[in-house]
Amino acid sequence: MPPRWRKDLERILITERQLARRVRALSRAIERDFAGREMVVVSLLNGTVMFLADLIRRLSLPLRLDFIGVSSYGAGAASGELVFTKELRLSVRGRDVLLVDDILDTGKTLARVRAKLQALGPRRLRTCVLLNKGARRVEKIEADYVGFEIPDFFVVGYGLDFAERYRNLPFVGVLRPQVYHRAGPDLDGVGGKPPAGLAESQCPSPRRLRPGPVSSA
Ligand code: IMP
Ligand code: MG
């Protein structure tokens, strides 16, 4: 791990190389399933930024891209309430849609956004997430394409943030509990509270991390 991040991160959970390889595999599966028709990729802001960029540049398919903004944790998430900060602009009626998010945790975000898209009458709606924290699921929802199954740790990097920080790390790392415990009221959007439901147990070695299933649509 670059020395710069050692005081904030416990360890690297998923390396750049593992991410690249897995994203390529996901792209291939999506390409197979969506071949033949123009697709609409709908991505959730802001955590998908790196995953999305790497995923879609590997898709040799005609596609249109749009974003939905949802504020995912902080005061809103605890009550199960989500705030939409950007609405969809493209029409998805009769379209083949791929909804992309960074991480599936309690499932509230994806369930809510998926229902919203489903109501717009797409021909087909599939979901894709980079990470899946199955242990914390509250909603009955699984993604169709999953990059990695991860244990219940709060992770940052490769687009994922804590209080809007660490998104720029090229790998996925486990945040040290001290970081969110010492987070003061100056920390934007967090107000000194740790993210909900954080585990502080030991992290498995990246070698033992198994890629999640890639289902065929
Ligand atoms: P859910 O609604 O509980 O499934 O939460 C999904 C959202 O919570 C994601 O889109 C992330 O923005 C955020 N989130 C959940 N777990 C983590 C994490 O470990 N690191 C960073 N963000 C997370
Ligand atoms: Mg987020």
Distances (CA, A) of 81 to 48, 75, 152, 203: 20, 9, 22, 30
Neighbours of 62 (CB within 10 A): 9
- Residue 135 C-alpha to ligand 1 middle, in angstroms? 13
Residue 96 in contact with ligand 1 by CB distance below 6 A: no
Residues 6+ positions from 3 with CB-CB distance below 8 Å: none
Per the CB < 8 A criterion, the answer to whether 203 and 10 are in contact is: yes
Q: How far, CA to CA in Å, does 68 sit from each of 54, 84, 152, 190?
A: 18, 7, 26, 21
Q: How far is CA 37 from CA 32, 117, 215, in A?
A: 11, 19, 19
Across 14-28, average pLDDT: 98
What confidence score (pLDDT) does residue 181 get? 85
Ligand 2 centroid from CA 161, angstroms: 6
110-119 pLDDT per residue, tens: 999 999 999 9
Mean pLDDT rounded to a whole number for the chain:
87
Q: Is the separation of the CB atoms in 207 and 15 below 8 Å? A: no
Question: Which one of the listed residues 105, 144, 161, 188 is annotated catalytic?
Answer: 105
- Which residues sit with Cβ closer than 5 angstroms to ligand 2, an ion? 47, 72
Ligand 1 and 100: CB distance under 6 A: no
Closest to 126 measured CA to CA, from 24, 17, 37, 14: 37
**39-81 per-position pLDDT tens digit:** 999 999 999 999 999 999 999 999 999 999 998 555 433 556 8
Q: Pairing between strand 172-175 and 9-14?
A: antiparallel
Give pTM, 2 decimals. 0.87
What's the confidence (pLDDT) of residue 133? Answer: 97
For 79, residues 6+ apart whose C-beta sits below 8 A from its C-beta are: none
Tokens of 57: 């540049």
Q: pLDDT tens digits, residue range 177-206?
A: 999 887 765 554 444 445 554 443 344 445
What are the distances in angstroms from CA 162 to CA 124, 127, 129, 166? 33, 24, 18, 7
pLDDT exceeds 60 at position 109:
yes
Average pLDDT (72-101) is 82
Residue 121 pLDDT greater than 80, yes or no:
yes
Average pLDDT over residues 93-115: 97
> Does residue 15 have a pLDDT over 80?
yes
Rounded CA-CA distance 124/151 in Å is: 30
